[in-house]
Structure 1
Amino acid sequence: MNSRRDFLQLLTTSAVALPFLPLYGSSEQLAFYDQSYEGPVLRVAIMGLGSYGTRVAEAMQTCKRAKLVGVISGTPAKIKDWQSKYNIPEKNCYNYENYDSVKDNPDIDAIYVITPNGLHHQAVLRIAAAGKHAICEKPMAINAQEGQEMVDACNKANVKLLVGYRMHFEPNTLEIIRMRNEGELGKIMFFQGLSGFKIGDPTQWRLDKELAGGGAMMDIGIYSINGARYMVGEEPIWVTAQETKTDPIKFKEGVDETIQFQLGFPSGAVASCLSTYSMNHLDRFFLNGDKGFAELQPSTGYGPIKGRTHKGELMKPHITHQTVQMDQMAGIISAGEKAVVPVDGAEGVKDLKIIDAIYEVCKTGGKKKLDL
């Protein structure tokens, strides 16, 4: 298994803003994709035509409110292939040197950045300067400072910045959030997040400190960080963490192999999480309250997501995550709709602040206060 993309083989906005994709997800979601749609369409260019870019492009073929219209790549052969496969006009094709000129192209509304983590920051700054909306894969940057600079640049340019948190639109996930919000789980006491797989090719960019910004934490671990926040429903106020490295040749300085971390929340709830590149079969969320529990396993894969609670199995419908994500993001960008769990740049910066703190306490030990 070489990457999270191999490992990881819907309904968010308010019911008023988006009546045809209901608040917490149900069979109406399936009905939406069987109906015709005549509203505005967000025209999207994808930057980075690798495996996940391809997955997003395929998923967008069934979107109602978002359409793939452009590409940005450093590989001319890939651009030609995508032009042919997705009927993309030559005028909407760019490379990494000339895509600033997208500012003069009225046929592209937004650019989805799907490149290595270390390249996100500069790309989003250039996209903002070109006056286009930005969607950026997670983690949105390699540290919180870079992330905040991206948020500031987009605010200054009056464009939206969204982060590819596809799980924020997943129906079983949203059903657990509904149950928690309505008190069905009682007082939340504990969350466990297990995120990991055994990474393969040691030469890939995910094991390159400059391109990845770290190791497992910057790839798969962010799911447990973000999941702890949206499952507990609070922002953590402290963190402790411990790093384990068994293969310093493969996992060089600054590239984490395994990190266990703990988060504390204002209510007294605690989270215990694991991020690793050295163990398979780790994709599980568990939330415990004094009146009930909820579990997702798999919790963040490409689906179907499976879950259960003290009331029984979760049976929400599955639609390709990236299809729903892009339709929902189109509504956020074009119609000002709101997500149940935010997907904006500020949300991404909060995760990066936690990651920064985790890396710090792995070196220093002790407990670090968080101010998100």
Structure 2
Amino acid sequence: MAVQCSEPVGACGGSGAVRAGETGVPDGSPPARLVPLLALACGSSVATVYFSQPLLVTLGERFALGAGWLGAIVTVTQLGYAVGLLALVPLGDLLDRRRLVTGQLALLAAALLAAGLAPGAVALFGALAAVGLLAVVAQTMVAAAAALTPPARRGRAVGTVTGGIVTGILLARAAAGALADLAGWRAVYLVAAGVILVLTVLVRRALPAGTPTVGAHEMSYGRLVASTVTLFARHPLLRVRGALALLVFAAFSTLWSGMAQPLSGPPWSLSHTAIGAFGLAGAAGAVAATAAGRWNDRGLARRTTGVGLAVLALSWLPIGLTGRSLWALAIGAVLLDFAVQAVHVTNQTLIHSVRPDAGSRIIGGYMVFYSAGSSLGALGSSLAYATGGWPAVTTLGASFSLAALALWAATRHVGQVVGAA
């Protein structure tokens, strides 16, 4: 059962807004430094999920993992993230936001420390699962930014914090690769632990205390989590867009999780820094995808989805030429990132319109599909490369993309009806 709200849309539930006087800020506006700080903390938290991607070959050699097991390193992190979206994000509707955010950040720093000091594969997998579980603190901070900002400035604040997340994802691979070349793979996680610990202190000082309007006196934690499942069971659009997210991010993860293996071997034999730098190639696609928001505002959500999925499928043609040309890989990465971001923006725009008062639970549930797709792509990519090399990886990614395009074609009228409403 979903929480019902008698306040105007945006005053409770999805936005995580607070009652007057609960923000800890006299005029209802957050301190000037808070939103940029939350953006930095969000980007740093989410980046920890992606650090392993340019390091997969090195980690496989260090812990004696076969090529087919390399994807499991990414998979356990993404599975932890999926669990956190369902188990931890709803706590933002029940607990004091400052204690919740800083507590999760401190535990994330501890998990990163454990990963950096892991003596064996089992310890590494356990630490990375904990990293994924706790990295969902970024979603809690997005809700906090929305709750603390007046409606007239809320979009700008959420956009700034979300921009921090995108930037963190894009820079994670490059930063991890460069640091691994300079000081070894363990330094990546140890330095990250120190950064997160410093951010924990800064966020605790800057973030006002306060509990959202949907409190423990209105709904128990168990019922709040269960209401997320109920929402997806009731609304077909949520299920369709969730399935699209699963397939799209499976394709995304197939590329980014599998890229390290062909690039680290002949004929390229690239360093960690060079492999990580390919994450920057996707930045152009991510920046260009901001146009998808404007297209959605014009009522072009269905067309944006279709074009995005078609571009996603076509991106695998140049990606398939990776063994012959790094430029082809860069072009394919730009196209793929553009397509994924365009579909992702459209998905979130449409699903939020279903129940604005339950926006945080809907987004949390949607992101479970994202995490499951990322796990599927990572594991599938490593198995495909072990059995058939890069052509098999390309075929797998193209298959996920074509399946998403087929799903959209079969269900596009669902999105059209809700989008029009």
TM-score range for the pair, normalised by the shorter chain length: under 0.3
Between Structure 1 and Structure 2, the one with more strand by share is 1
| Larger RCO, structure (CA 8 Å, separation 6 or more) | 2
TM-score where L is the length of structure 1 = 0.26
TM-score where L is the length of structure 2 = 0.24
Between Structure 1 and Structure 2, the one with more helix by share is 2
